[in-house]
Amino acid sequence: MRILYISDFPVLNTGYATVSRHLLRRLIVDYEVCYLPIAGPEHGAFSPEIFGAEVLPTLSSVNDISYWFFKKDCDVALILKDPYVFNGIESLPVFHVFYAPVAEEPLSPQYKAITQTAMYIWIPSNWGIRVAKESGIHYQRLRFVPHGVPSVYRILDEPEEYRKKFGFPDVDVMISMVSVNRGRKFVPNQLAGVKKFIENNPDLKVGIYLHMSMQPDNYTLHGGWDMGSVLDIYGLSGITRFPDPYLYKVGFSEQQMCELYNATDVLLNASTEGFGLPIIEAQACGTPVVTVKHGNGPEINFFGLNAEVGAFYHTIMGTMFAIPDPDSVAEQIERAIKIKDTNKRNVSDFVRKNYDWDVVYRAYIRKELDKIESEIDPRKVVEVIRCG
C-alpha torsion 173→178→184→186, nearest 10: 20
pLDDT of the residue at 387: 38
Separation CA 250–CA 13 (nearest Å): 6
pLDDT of the residue at 378: 60
Contact 69, 94 (CB under 8 A): yes
DSSP 103: -
Query: One-letter amino acid identity for 127?
Result: W
Where do runs of H (alpha helix) occur along the chain?
15-30, 48-51, 63-71, 109-114, 126-134, 159-165, 187-200, 219-222, 227-234, 245-250, 254-263, 277-284, 297-300, 326-336, 341-354, 357-360, 366-375, 378-387
Other CB atoms within 10 A of residue 350 CB: 13
What does 215-226 look like in DSSP terms, one character per residue? Answer: S-SBHHHHB---
Q: Is the dihedral of CA 148, 151, 155, 158 positive or negative?
A: negative
Nearest Cα neighbor of 329 from 153, 188, 147 is 188
The helix (H) or strand (E) run that includes residue 312 is strand 309-314
Phi/psi for 314 (5° steps) reads -100, 130
b/e sequence 84-103, b meaning 16+ C-beta within 10 Å? eebeebbebebbbbbbbbbb
Where do runs of H (alpha helix) occur along 183-252?
187-200, 219-222, 227-234, 245-250
Structural domains in the chain plus CATH codes: 2-148+356-387 (3.40.50.11930), 159-354 (3.40.50.2000)
- pLDDT digit of tens for each residue in the chain (388 aa)? 999 999 998 878 889 999 999 999 999 999 999 999 997 665 555 566 667 888 898 899 999 999 999 999 999 999 999 999 999 999 999 999 999 999 999 999 999 999 999 999 999 999 999 999 999 999 999 999 999 999 999 999 999 999 999 999 999 999 999 999 999 999 999 999 999 999 999 999 999 999 999 999 878 888 999 999 999 999 999 999 999 998 898 889 999 999 999 999 999 999 999 999 999 999 999 999 999 999 999 999 999 999 999 999 999 989 999 999 999 999 999 999 999 999 999 999 999 999 999 999 999 999 999 999 999 876 444 343 333 3
C-alpha torsion 213→217→223→225, nearest 10: 20
Separation CA 91–CA 99 (nearest Å): 19
pLDDT of the residue at 11: 79
Separation CA 104–CA 73 (nearest Å): 35
Q: Which residues contact 173 (CB under 8 A, 6 or more apart)?
A: 201, 204, 205, 206, 207, 265, 266, 337
DSSP 43: T
b/e sequence 217-230, b meaning 16+ C-beta within 10 Å? eeeeeeebbebeeb
**Full-model pTM:** 0.93
pLDDT of the residue at 383: 41
Separation CA 1–CA 30 (nearest Å): 9
